[in-house]
Amino acid sequence: MKLVRTAEELREVLDPDRPTGLVPTMGAFHEGHLSLFRTARAENDLVVASLFVNPAQFGQGEDLERYPRDEERDLALAQQEGVDVVYAPGADEIYPPGFQTWVEVEELGRTLEGAHRPGHFRGVATVCLKLFNLVRPQRAYFGQKDAQQAAVLKRMVRDLALAVEIRVLPTVRDPDGLALSSRNEYLSPEERQAALSLPRALRARDPSLLDGLEVDYFEEADFEPRVLAAAVRVGRTRLIDNVVLEGET
Ligand code: AMP
Instruction: Tell me the catalytic residues.
Output: 33
Read off the pLDDT of each residue in 173-197 and give the average, rounded to a whole number.
98
Residue to mutate, 53, 121, 142, ligand 1, most ligand atoms under 8 Å from C-beta: 142
Residue 246, pLDDT above cutoff 90: no
> Is 195 within 8 Å of 178 (Cβ atoms)?
yes
Look at residue 122 in the predicted model and tell me its pLDDT: 98
Q: What's the CA dihedral at 215, 219, 35, 124 to 10 degrees?
A: -80
> Is 86 within 8 Å of 49 (Cβ atoms)?
yes
Read off the pLDDT of each residue in 59-65 and give the average, rounded to a whole number.
97
Closest residue CA from atom 10 of ligand 1: 142
Read off the pLDDT of each residue in 38-55 and give the average, rounded to a whole number.
98
Look at residue 247 in the predicted model and tell me its pLDDT: 64
Average pLDDT, the chain: 97
Which protein residues are within 6 Å of ligand 1, measured from CB?
25-26, 32-33, 35-36, 142-143, 145-146, 169, 171-172, 179-182
Read off the pLDDT of each residue in 30-59 and give the average, rounded to a whole number.
98
Look at residue 181 in the predicted model and tell me its pLDDT: 98
Residue 24, pLDDT above cutoff 60: yes
Residue 248, pLDDT above cutoff 70: no
Dist CA 132 CA 217 (whole Å) = 31
What percent of the chain is modeled with pLDDT above 90?
Answer: 98
Closest residue CA from atom 17 of ligand 1: 32
Rounded to whole angstroms, what are the CA distances from 249 to 127, 152, 169? 23, 15, 6
What are all long-range contacts of 11-16, with beta carbons under 8 Å and residues at least 24 apart?
13/84, 13/85, 14/46, 14/48, 14/85, 14/135, 14/136, 15/46, 16/136
What is the per-residue pLDDT across 149-167, written as a single tens digit (0 to 9) for each?
Answer: 999 999 999 999 999 999 9
> Is 54 within 8 Å of 94 (Cβ atoms)?
yes
Residue 202, pLDDT above cutoff 60: yes
> Is 62 within 8 Å of 183 (Cβ atoms)?
no
Residue 218, pLDDT above cutoff 60: yes
Dist CA 217 CA 202 (whole Å) = 12
